[in-house]
Amino acid sequence: MHGKSLVEKDGIILETTEQHHDLLGREVKVDDTVAFVHANSMYVGKIIKVTPKQVRVVPMATRYRQDRGYLKYTSQCVLVGGPELTMWILKKT
């Protein structure tokens, strides 16, 4: 699954796909969990939207910015997962 955008060419709307990669070169997509930095703080969040250049990430375990999240370049994100993420989520709830 890749992020998709619409591009108009000669009056025809075409669908294009973009691949986004995190800081370590791994592909990121909607519903992936990533660690990211905002305003000198580290957050864990979920990608809710992919744009042609950035991804929209909603932080987890906080109510702040739950409605729209943050736009981040994927080079500012790192995919997280596995048992460490599960323990972090359990501790925060």
pTM for the full model?
0.71
> Where do the domains of the chain lie, and which CATH numbers do they carry?
3-92 (2.30.30.1060)
Q: Strands, E, within 1-93: which ranges?
A: 3-9, 12-18, 20-21, 27-28, 33-38, 41-50, 55-59, 70-72, 77-79
Q: Which residues pair with 41 in a beta bridge?
A: 38
Provide the residue-wise pLDDT of the chain in tens; the chain has 93 residues: 344 555 555 666 555 567 888 988 989 989 999 999 988 888 899 999 988 899 999 998 777 777 788 999 999 999 998 887 888 778 876
pLDDT for the residue numbered 68: 83
Check if the beta carbon of residue 89 is closer than 8 Å to that of residue 59: no
Q: Tell how strand 55-59 and strand 70-72 pair up.
A: antiparallel
